Amino acid sequence: MPRVVCDSSILIHLAAIGRISLLRDFFDKLIIPPTVWREVVEEGKGRLGVAEVESAVREEWIRVQPVEADFLLRSLKQDLDDGEAEVIALALELEADLVLIDESEARRKTETFGLKKTGIVGILMRAKFEGKIQALRPELDRLRTEGGFWVDDGLYRRALQAVAEE
């Protein structure tokens, strides 16, 4: 079974558009570090994603796992926020097969360490290719409007072209 480590943005924004179930469909199990749990559930009380993540942890398809590599974590925190630093450190520690992360600097760091990554747009593109959603455009539009997620116009167009919607 592949080891997939996930950042909070993916959970929050997929929950905002009612698509968090895609993560379970695609990955069966996810691993999140404690800071992601705190960002989504403890600090997010009353916001999108809380109930879904709490339920997923109870059902054991999301597992919270602490980072052991303190030196690496401290080093990553110099350039990234705590959640992203923990995600990358945990992914390296576990030799993860995939990191689910969106923030630009964090994505560059994953590349530096040779980690495979995808973000929310990639997950939605996969959903389109695999027939789990009918069209990508309405999902991206909802992500922007209802989810409050910023998608660069160039990325928006490239994603639509990749799934033959533009």
65 and 136 co-located in one domain: no
Same-domain pairing of 33 and 45: yes
> Are 92 and 115 part of one and the same domain?
yes
Domain count, the chain: 2
Q: Is the domain of 141 the same as that of 115?
A: no
- CATH (domain of 64): 3.40.50.1010
Please tell me whether residues 56 and 135 are part of one structural domain.
Answer: no
Same domain, 98 and 20: yes
Q: Are residues 110 and 143 in the same domain?
A: no
Q: Show the domain range for 88.
A: 4-120
Domain identity same for 108 and 145 = no
- Is-contact 39 9, C-beta < 8 A? no
pLDDT, one tens digit for every residue, the chain (166 residues): 789 999 999 999 999 899 999 999 999 899 999 999 999 999 888 787 788 889 999 999 999 999 997 888 898 999 999 999 999 999 999 999 999 999 989 999 999 999 999 999 999 999 999 999 999 999 999 999 988 899 899 999 999 999 999 7
